[in-house]
Amino acid sequence: MTSPVRFAILGFGLHAVRRLLPAFANSERTRLVGMWRRDQEAARKNCAEHQIAHCFASPEELCASPEVDAVFITSPDAMHHADTLLALRHGKAVLCEKPVAMNSAEAKEMADAAKAAGLLYGVAQNFRSNHSLDWIRERIQAGKIGQLQSAYAEFDYPANRAPRKWTKDPSLACGGPIGDVGVHCIDALRYVLGEEVETVSTLAEKSHPDDQVEAKATLQMRMTGGILANVTVSALTPYRTVIEITGSDGVIVAENGFTVDRPIEMMLRRGGDVVETATVSNNDAYSRMLDSFADALQNGSPFAATGEDGVRNMAILDAAFRSWKTGQREVVG
């Protein structure tokens, strides 16, 4: 039997506690063996509480350790570039949180470095492991709603109640909700539709004039295949996610379609009639992502969100932020 892939988390924090520790516990092919966080006292407490074997003193020590096969990078956005390159220099496979960098140039350097080193590098776009998105994607590919026409994705959350205060600091975060959760919506649409974003027009607003990042935004996107898509994000409202895909013959809609915390009602309508429904759960999405990464590392199987996907998503974010600044529709570079 193949040994589990030994992971260490670089940048351990709330996300690791809330999502990744349960995911590793339920993963069949990975094992969490180490971590590093800037606050070493907190790190020691975390390692003791969660029985993590190696509490590394520095990112360099973590990446150099022979006890680690793969590094899961969950540090703030601005650190992803340096952290990924460090892990790759030490010959480690890398799974990096989204958004993978602060811009597409950094993302491309990361993907190119992994390719040059012959190392596995993936992006933790965990929605690609959601059963809800698989359900939608399969029905689109089967032609059940006809020729694709338009798409909509929404992700709202109350950032003022979130403990991750660094997400409002532009020196650490790639924008506000556009980068934080908008990238999830963008990637989800790319995944289920099998199409790419060509141009973006952004309307965004801050909560207060002195804020340095946006608080809510709408992105209008023209995609290949003649699809018009909208992404709406907000850091000012209760949690809500939506995905809706409209074709020439029908529509697929899922309220809370991205959530991993509760069952999701999937619905396919034609001519106003409900013709297919399903209830799915995404509660194993993070574990599925980890196991898929392990399969890619050990057997060469494809991983759903590649470094190249990270570059493409960052190029779309670049265009979205340019559009907000210029007030013009921007081409994705």
Dihedral sign for Cα 272, 276, 281, 287, please.
negative
Flag whether 157 is in a domain. yes
- Does the pLDDT at position 112 exceed 80? yes
Contacts of range 137-140, beta carbons closer than 8 Å, 24 or more positions apart: 137/191, 137/192, 137/194, 139/252, 139/268, 139/276, 140/192, 140/193, 140/194, 140/245, 140/247, 140/252
Q: Are residues 76 and 147 part of one domain?
A: no
pLDDT at 272: 87
Q: Are residues 106 and 254 part of one domain?
A: no
Q: Are residues 248 and 298 part of one domain?
A: no
Flag whether 242 is in a domain. yes
Q: Are residues 10 and 70 part of one domain?
A: yes
Report pLDDT digits (tens) over 288-324: 999 999 999 999 999 999 999 999 999 999 999 999 9
pLDDT at 165: 74
Which domain covers residue 65, as residue numbers? 5-126+286-303
The CATH number covering residue 28 comes to: 3.40.50.720
Q: Are β-strands 330-331 and 54-55 bridged in parallel, bridged antiparallel, or unpaired?
A: unpaired
Q: Which DSSP symbol is given to 295?
A: H
- Does the pLDDT at position 91 exceed 90? yes
* Structure tokens belonging to residue 330: 């921007």
Flag whether 310 is in a domain. no
Closest by CA to 88, choosing from 288, 307, 296, is 307
Confidence category of residue 159, pLDDT binned at 50, 70, 90: confident
Under a CB-based contact definition with an 8 Å cutoff, are residues 63 and 36 in contact?
no
SS3 content of the chain, % helix, strand, coil (to 5): 40, 30, 30
Under a CB-based contact definition with an 8 Å cutoff, are residues 267 and 250 in contact?
no
pLDDT at 1: 66
Contacts of range 85-91, beta carbons closer than 8 Å, 24 or more positions apart: 85/109, 85/110, 85/113, 86/59, 86/60, 87/10, 87/63, 88/113, 88/114, 88/117, 88/119, 88/121, 89/63, 90/63, 90/64, 91/117, 91/119
Helices (H), the chain: 14-15, 21-26, 40-50, 59-64, 80-89, 104-117, 131-141, 177, 183-193, 285-299, 307-326
Confidence category of residue 168, pLDDT binned at 50, 70, 90: confident
Q: Are residues 64 and 99 part of one domain?
A: yes
Q: Are residues 267 and 132 part of one domain?
A: yes
pLDDT at 86: 98
pLDDT at 6: 98
Average pLDDT, the chain: 97
Which residues in 127-166 are b (16+ Cβ under 10 Å) and which e? bbbbbbbbbbbebbeeebbeebbebbbbbbbebeeeeeee
Residue 25 to residue 258: CA distance in whole angstroms: 22
Helices (H), 130-270: 131-141, 177, 183-193
Task: Tell me how many domains the chain contains.
Answer: 2
Statement: the pTM of the whole predicted model exceeds 0.75: yes
- The percent of residues above 70 in pLDDT, for the chain, comes to 99
Q: Are residues 158 and 25 part of one domain?
A: no
Q: How far is CA 224 from CA 97, 113, 190, 197, 316, in A?
A: 26, 29, 10, 6, 13
Read off the pLDDT of each residue in 165-188 and give the average, rounded to a whole number: 94
Q: Which DSSP symbol is given to 244?
A: E
Read off the pLDDT of each residue in 141-152 and give the average, rounded to a whole number: 98
Q: Are residues 195 and 98 part of one domain?
A: no
- Does the pLDDT at position 163 exceed 80? no
Report pLDDT digits (tens) over 235-286: 999 999 999 999 999 999 999 999 999 999 999 999 989 999 999 999 999 9
Residue 146 to residue 143: CA distance in whole angstroms: 5
